[in-house]
Amino acid sequence: MRISALLGLIALVIKKMEAMTPWMDGGGKQEQPQDEGTAYNNLELGSYDPNLDNYDLSNYEEKVIKSDYGVLTPTTEVGTLAPPTTRASTKTMMATMAPRTWTAITTPSISSLLNALTAQGLPTCLVCVCLGTSVYCDDADLERIPPLPQETTYLYARFNNISQIQTGDFKGLRKLKRIDLSGNSISTIEDDAFLLPALQELIIPENKLVSLPRLPGSLVRLDAQLNNLQSPGILPESFRELKKLQFLYLSDNKLDYIPVPLPSSLRSLHLQDSRVQESPGILRPGSYRIEAPFPAPVPQKQGQF
């Protein structure tokens, strides 16, 4: 019984598979191809009329798409053509764009520009004016002495914001004859900053100096007017060894005295508006012209020395 039932089940499965075979093989009823004439004859052309006069063009419509920037190119819609794709508003598109990041632009100062140039090995003469061996850096917003060409003989750096002079500022400038730093904010000068072999004129008025550094023996003119110089800020015998010094300008300071003796080469001494109380006799009048409001000598009584 079991074997016969099993055989019957197998026969049933085989039948089903035979029934599905035509569909799996791409079989089935296939339509016979018709010739070209027969195919055209079966078309129902209805009331087809090639004459355009019989058509109603009332459905013709010209649409103009407008945007925030004005009228764009018109698009044409005829009959049941698919409607044009609606364009997003320009404002909507711009709203979805990433916001721009604006970077603040600052104008660099001359000082920072000089530092940047010299850091790249470029000379100061690209910013300052160099005429021959003279360098002009007047009113250039400098905060320090810029690196100078080795051949510099005259430096003019007036009316800047220089606050201190360092020893290395003039290093190697063996031909430098004149330094003019008028109208800065110099309050400190390192002791050896001006010990240059050829320096003849040191012009440093209208600064904030309370003391003087060591001075070179080649100096002919020293102008330190309109500072805050005090007598303890000048080393003893500072001027004695200046054998070539001819002009000494110390007016408008806070000096109570100046160190003596002064060099025999001196021709003019200016001490106006100072507190110097020394007697003219000590300053040896006659060997040079004194410009100072010295008080009259106090007459001595007999028997007093």
> What is the per-residue pLDDT across 65-74, written as a single tens digit (0 to 9) for each?
444 444 444 5
Q: Is the pLDDT confidence value at 289 over 50?
A: yes
Task: Count other Cβ atoms within 10 Å, centred on residue 248.
Answer: 22
Output the pLDDT for position 283.
Answer: 54
Do you find a cis peptide bond into 261, omega within 30 degrees of 0? yes
Task: Work out the average pLDDT over 225-254.
Answer: 94
**pLDDT tens, 215-234?**
999 999 999 999 999 999 99
Question: All domains of the chain, ordered by start, with CATH?
Answer: 128-283 (3.80.10.10)
Using a pLDDT cut of 90, give the percent of the chain over it: 44
Q: Is the pLDDT confidence value at 261 over 70?
A: yes
**pLDDT tens, 141-195?**
999 999 999 999 999 999 999 999 999 999 999 999 999 999 999 999 999 999 9
Q: Which of 255, 303, 261 is nearest to 281 (CA)?
A: 261
Beta bridge partners of 163: none
- Around 297, how many Cα atoms within 13 Å sit in the side-chain half-sphere? 7
Q: How far apart are the first and last CA of the chain?
A: 166
DSSP annotation of 206: S
Q: Is the pLDDT confidence value at 61 over 50?
A: no
Output the pLDDT for position 87.
Answer: 53
**In Å, what is the CA distance from 128 to each residue of 109, 111, 192?**
13, 11, 25
Question: How high does pLDDT run on average in the chain?
Answer: 73
Task: Work out the average pLDDT over 245-266.
Answer: 94
230 near 255, Cβ under 8 Å? yes
**In Å, what is the CA distance from 143 to each residue of 129, 134, 159, 172, 260?**
17, 20, 11, 21, 35
Highest mean pLDDT among 123-127, 146-150, 270-274: 146-150
Q: Is the pLDDT confidence value at 75 over 70?
A: no
Q: Is the pLDDT confidence value at 257 over 60?
A: yes
**pLDDT tens, 3-52?**
666 567 676 767 666 666 554 555 444 555 555 455 445 545 455 455 55
Output the pLDDT for position 296.
Answer: 38
Output the pLDDT for position 64.
Answer: 46
Enclosing H/E stretch for 4: helix 2-24
Q: Are strands 61-63 and 75-77 parallel, antiparallel or unpaired?
A: antiparallel
Q: How confident is the model at residue 100 (pLDDT cuts 50, 70, 90)?
A: low
